[in-house]
Homo-oligomer: A and B are copies of this chain.
Amino acid sequence: MGNIQKIADELGLSTATISNALSGKGRVSAENIQRIRARAQEINYFPNPIARALKTGRSDIIGLVMPDLTQPLFPIFARSIENAAEQSGLGVLIADSMDNPDAQKEAIDRLVRRGVDGLIVIPQRGSSVATTSVPMAVIHTASHPQNTASANHFQGGQLAAATLLEAGHRAILLVGFDPLSEVQQDRVAGMVSRLTGQAEYEIIWLAGMAEGDLKSALRRHSALIATSDSLAMQAMNLAQASGLSVPAELSIVGFDDLPFSQHLRPALTTVRPDMPAIAHHAVRYLASSLEDKGSSVVAKSFDMALVSRDSVARPAPLSSSRLLSRFSTTAKSQPNRKVKR
């Protein structure tokens, strides 16, 4: 590996000609293009990206900021983004925003100071992102004003609800974690929109809630949709621990299709975001913002898909084991508190 000067000297040409031949931009004789390309191959020459960046003002590196690299969804994001970016000749610099808005701002600044051309940001729950000096694609929810690429969480919620409806369920528990999360809100809103008038439902937010409350809520429904697979797993474990059979007595649908979901017992039916498409669109948006100032790529939301596995079944008839198990438990039967809105 040498530099452009070396090739120029070896071939008795000027650096300009080498540069032109290699980039294909300038007009160079076919013969020289041949020789130059061949020589570059031989010495395994690649243009120094730093020098090029200094000259062109573009580093061809984008930054990826995520709330918490520890989240199980992160690898799926990261991989899709890295692949999409690589296809566009872009490198990906990562930063952990530590689940904290100040740290998020800090992380963004660090990346910008490092000279990234653009940013892909997955914001914290409920936070907005300060604008920056470089173009930014934010992956959030369709309802968020800053959003450029997202899963269609609302449609995903509808899909989950429809699945349960079709299986015959008429009393469905909707389990979220944090009502401040716009993603979770959108998912729940989708579920509600599909369920209204078709089935009874109850919404329960787990953040800061006693486990016993979920436990008793479980017994009042024949099916449950959780806003994430992690939540679904917790609910499944709790249900099974308290003697409820899944899916015979309780059907469960999750969200995200996390890696462990297929290994659950029963394997979890879940709603999966189209990460490759989302990542690709976010990267395309950035790339286009870098070319021309009037970024022609518009915000977009990608439909979610049902991954049908084993955690959904038809509800048990009322006279079945479900009732028996109800009586056998010590949990006091409570009046149904349906939440409608």
Do B240 and A263 have beta carbons less than 8 Å apart? no
**Given contacts A50-B53, A50-B115, is CB(A79)–CB(B69) below 8 Å?**
yes
CB closest chain-B residue, reference A234: B263
Determine if A46 is an interface residue (Cβ-Cβ < 8 Å): yes
Do B260 and A93 have beta carbons less than 8 Å apart? no
Residues of the B chain whose Cβ atoms lie less than 8 Å from the Cβ of A83? 96
Do A96 and B74 have beta carbons less than 8 Å apart? no
Indicate with 1 or 0, residue by residue over A232-259, a CB within 8 angstroms of chain B CB atoms. 0110011011000000000000000011
- Most chain B beta carbons < 10 A, residue from A51, A75, A93: A75
Do A96 and B79 have beta carbons less than 8 Å apart? yes
Determine if A126 is an interface residue (Cβ-Cβ < 8 Å): no
**Given contacts A75-B69, A95-B82, is CB(A1)–CB(B114) below 8 Å?**
no
Count of chain A residues with Cβ under 8 Å from any Cβ of B? 49
Determine if A59 is an interface residue (Cβ-Cβ < 8 Å): yes
The residues in A between 245 and 290 inclusive whose CB is less than 8 angstroms from any CB of B are 258-260, 263-265
Determine if A26 is an interface residue (Cβ-Cβ < 8 Å): no
**Given contacts A82-B95, A115-B49, is CB(A260)–CB(B233) below 8 Å?**
yes
Indicate with 1 or 0, residue by residue over A155-166, a CB within 8 angstroms of chain B CB atoms. 000000000000
Do A91 and B91 have beta carbons less than 8 Å apart? no
The residues in A between 56 and 92 inclusive whose CB is less than 8 angstroms from any CB of B are 59, 61, 64, 68-72, 74-76, 78-79, 82-83, 86, 91-92
Do A92 and B94 have beta carbons less than 8 Å apart? yes
Determine if A110 is an interface residue (Cβ-Cβ < 8 Å): yes
Residues of the B chain whose Cβ atoms lie less than 8 Å from the Cβ of A110? 86, 91
**Given contacts A75-B72, A78-B94, A82-B96, is CB(A238)–CB(B260) below 8 Å?**
no
With both chains docked as a complex, state the minimum distance between the C-beta of A246 and any C-beta of chain B, in angstroms: 11
Partner of A263 from B54, B96, B230 at Cβ < 8 Å:
B230
Determine if A133 is an interface residue (Cβ-Cβ < 8 Å): yes
With both chains docked as a complex, state the minimum distance between the C-beta of A100 and any C-beta of chain B, in angstroms: 13
Determine if A34 is an interface residue (Cβ-Cβ < 8 Å): no
Determine if A336 is an interface residue (Cβ-Cβ < 8 Å): no
A71 to B259, CA, bound (A): 8
CB closest chain-B residue, reference A242: B265
A50 to B86, CA, bound (A): 20
Determine if A128 is an interface residue (Cβ-Cβ < 8 Å): no
8 closest A-B pairs by CB: A237-B265, A69-B79, A50-B53, A69-B75, A74-B75, A241-B265, A49-B115, A50-B54
In addition to A51-B54, A69-B79, A82-B94, 6 A-B residue pairs with Cβ atoms within 8 Å of each other are A69-B76, A69-B78, A74-B78, A83-B96, A86-B95, A237-B265
27 residue pairs bridging A and B, Cβ less than 8 Å apart: A46-B113, A48-B115, A49-B115, A50-B54, A50-B59, A50-B115, A51-B54, A68-B79, A69-B76, A69-B78, A69-B79, A69-B82, A72-B72, A72-B260, A74-B74, A82-B94, A82-B95, A82-B96, A91-B114, A92-B93, A93-B94, A230-B259, A230-B260, A233-B260, A238-B265, A241-B265, A260-B260
